[in-house]
Chains A and B, each alone.
Chain A
Amino acid sequence: MSNQKDSCFHCATPIPKGVNVELSVDGKQESFCCPACRAVTQTILGSGLEKYYQHRGNQQQERPTEIESQEQLALYDNESIQSPFVRHIDADRKEATFVIEGIHCAACVWLLERHLTEQSGVTSFTVNLTNHRARLVWRSEEKPLSELMAAIISIGYTPHPFTPNQEEKLYEQEQKKAMRRLGIAGVGMMQVMMMSSALYLGDAFFMEEHIQNFIRWTSFIVATPVVFYAARPFFIAAQRDLRTKHLSMDVPVSIAIGGAYAASVWATFTQSGEVYYDSVSMFTFFLLIGRFFEMKARHRTGMAGNELANILPASATRVTDSAEQLVPVSELKPGDRVLVKPGHSIPADGILFTQHTSIDESALTGEPLPVSKQLGDQLVGGTINMEQAIEMEITSSAEQSRMSSILNLLDRAQADKPKVAKIADKVASYFVAAVLLTATVVSLIWWQISPSDAFWVTLSVLVVTCPCALSLATPTALTAAIGSLRKMGLLVTRGHVLESLAQCSAVYFDKTGTLTTGKLTLRETTPLCKQSTEQLNQLAAAIESRSEHPIASAFSPYFTYSVEDATNYVGEGVEGSINGQTYRIGKPEFVARLYGHQPPIHPEGTGIYLLMGNNSGPLAWFAIDDQLRPEAIEAVKQIQALGLPVGMLTGDREANAQRIASELGIDHVESQLSPEDKLTRVKAMQNDGERILMIGDGINDIPVLSGAQTSIAMNGATDLAKTSSDAVLVSADLRRIPGSLSMARKTQNIIRQNISWALLYNLIALPLAASGYIAPWMAAIGMSLSSLIVVGNALRLTKQL
């Protein structure tokens, strides 16, 4: 556990200098980074759940977010707002579904379940660790929903009402179906294997004929549901592929399963020849397992639900001539006037009615610095009001707001995504054609020579060329590689990622939040007086300590003492006094007015420059900027060493983009791009034959992430960005990207080796089988051996970390 004195006991973030928030935990004095963290710990301890801190291992808890006001939560007690996510179980019990933000390990689940079930009125509360969904059953007469939501918030998690959409319901059905199929195949496999071993041994120990027959019949009974129920998806896919005249891997798989099953049924009914029920069930089971894991990975990121909806606030304060009224956002109509407090998000697109404010548009543009807005300017729904309470007039309803239009763009981009040609499918189509052709030719020839053997020889051709090795060649290599990548910190969520990564011809990054940390930090202090840099930083931190503005957070690491009183001048800066001396920090002109001269010459450079001064003159310049991730330079170098050009697409201003690019050695930079522009650029390059890997994080990157051939979302990305990308960089270390690229190339090599081996095996076995030299037991051994070699080769990928 990381509870050294310099990091917070609850959230493990470093404690800023001078912050002294303590609480006695288990007899020991522990330090916290903020009162919110202490409050959470107090609640946890108060409910006797201190075990949480032991259970959670090394997991870091997120810093608790600002607690929504009771008044706002009380909206959820309203029947009409509850209706989408709450249903009545019986007269007095109701059931609500939430997506809980802030869960990362089983200890969180434990904590939540324990804490909530202890509340009065709660009948049951269960949390799903995989999809972060919680189901709450409570007696609504006894306790309003808002109080239970407050209980979740009080231990540091945020509940979002969850309304399953159509897609999620489908996911659930798909998962259940896959699980049932896997169960049937697994049970069937074990049963049939048991009976088959009896048959194998029976051959050696002269088992009586009637018993052998009986066992064959029972194997037939058990294997039939495996083929007709568990293996159904393969047959359906094969049928679809045949209809579209495109031979995929499902075709040989179906032929293998169907052929071997048909041969066994024939053998059972006519009491002649060999049965292959065991191979059929085992083959089905292994292929289903591979598909199952692929499906799990695909669902994992989609599970947390449509989180974009959460950016739009659930309630807004509508202002009418007579009164202010808290209303649900869905009830806002164009023409309504609303009041937005600082720190709250804008409910829908509209026009500013107040003189001035600044808006954090980072969700939309990725730009970390707030943008200043004047009376009459357009405001975009979902962005955050930073400076002061504003009044605005709504121009379009929440559903039609710009954020929602990005979602529409997403749908379009996904449809246009270039398809990745899978080698296995390409090889398979030739292979299948060849096998079918050979089988036909062989049966025709044997029909001429000896009609009675024709059926058996044809079948042995089909069985010996059973494309087990070929169809296992790709999935096993992919499963092994995906496992290794996951250990490295890259969670792959789409099947095509490894192949498209290996073929990728250019890598493009978003800037803010991807190459940079996305947080404002103090880059440089230029003293204009005799004081040391450190003294100046501390002084600035003291003056800014009362400010809510995001710029103030850049100074918080230097915080040691507080200002006596401070005044915010909207859009200009902060004034504060320390030991009777008045200081100002902010725009140069604003500071210069304090001492009455011209401001000093503005230093060269990018980012924001703030001046600090007192009555007697200027004291220092502060350059505030978004910092590069420490490993970004190395990551870019490694990608370039792999022979891939690196580019940057950003919504940020030209100068900032150029500075970052030259620091990193990035050759291709495009700045001031809207989300639509980014998508158009990437599409244009893809039309020119480039294969783009795009890495991004924000809402503004969502269209481009879904439109690029391959895309990786940063771990800090919004859930929607994660869902629309092909992989998620969980470790937040950019160096994993070149690592994944080389892993993808290695995987590609292994797949090629596997396919070559499988083809070679078939080339040797096919003529032998066609000429009638191969006994069924030899075919079985050959089949298993070639599959084992393929699997062993694929496992090499797990060692190359």
Chain B
Amino acid sequence: MEIIYLLIPVAIILVAFATWAFFYSVNSGQFDDLESPAHRILYDDDEDMIPEDARVKKESDAPSTEITKD
């Protein structure tokens, strides 16, 4: 069980690193808008990236996304 003398400090260092990264992202404004990025992923504007032969017909390629007002 002596291995935890190594593992737990490693875990704490990782946590410290994660906290630093979190602070950095909050301070640089990445958490200012908590709503729109969640919706952005739902938009299928990647049509040009789909290979020609894999493209589907118009009806099915755009599931209507239910977006509620904030």
Contact = CB atoms under 8 A, between A and B. Distances in A.
A54 B8 contact: no
B45 A130 contact: no
Contacts of A172: 32
Contacts of B69: 59, 104-105, 730
Nearest to B38: A106
B35 interface: yes
Interface residues of B, number: 33
Interface string A209-249: 00100110010011000000000000000000000000000
A597 interface: no
Interface string A761-774: 00000000000000
B65 A55 contact: yes
Contact of B8 (A55, A109, A128, A214): A214
Interface in B16-35: 18-19, 22-23, 26-27, 31-35
B19 A183 contact: yes
Contacts of B23: 180, 183
Contacts of A127: 36
Contacts, number: 95
A54 B62 CA distance: 7
A619 B18 CA distance: 80
A385 B44 CA distance: 46
Nearest to B34: A130
Contact of A130 (B5, B8, B33, B43): B33
A519 to B, nearest CB: 22
Interface in A31-67: 51, 54-59
A56 B64 CA distance: 8
A131 B32 CA distance: 9
B4 interface: yes
Contact of A128 (B36, B40, B42, B66): B36
A113 to B, nearest CB: 9
B67 interface: yes
A106 B31 contact: no
A55 B22 contact: no
Count class of interface residues, chain A: 35 or more
Nearest to B14: A191
A191 B15 contact: yes
A179 interface: yes
B39 A180 contact: no
A110 interface: yes
B36 A106 contact: yes
A776 to B, nearest CB: 24
B39 A106 contact: yes
Given A130-B34, A130-B35, A180-B23, A56 B67 contact: yes
Contacts of B50: none
B70 A222 contact: no
A371 B29 CA distance: 48
A106 B5 contact: no
Contacts of B4: 211, 214-215
Nearest to B32: A128
B1 interface: yes
A57 B40 contact: no
A71 interface: no
B49 interface: no
A187 B19 CA distance: 8
A303 B70 CA distance: 13
A184 B1 CA distance: 29
A110 B43 contact: yes
B1 A54 contact: no
A214 B5 contact: yes
Nearest to B63: A54
A467 B28 CA distance: 37
Contacts of B32: 128, 130, 172, 175
A215 B33 contact: no
A57 B12 CA distance: 45
A222 B12 contact: yes
Nearest to A198: B4
A426 interface: no
Closest 3 pairs between A and B when the two form their complex, measured CB to CB: A106-B39, A129-B36, A128-B33
17 contacts: A51-B44, A54-B64, A56-B67, A106-B39, A106-B67, A107-B39, A110-B45, A128-B36, A129-B33, A129-B70, A131-B33, A183-B19, A183-B22, A187-B15, A214-B5, A218-B9, A730-B69
Given A57-B65, A106-B40, A215-B4, 13 more contacts: A51-B43, A51-B44, A54-B62, A59-B67, A107-B43, A109-B36, A114-B45, A129-B33, A129-B39, A130-B70, A176-B27, A176-B31, A195-B8
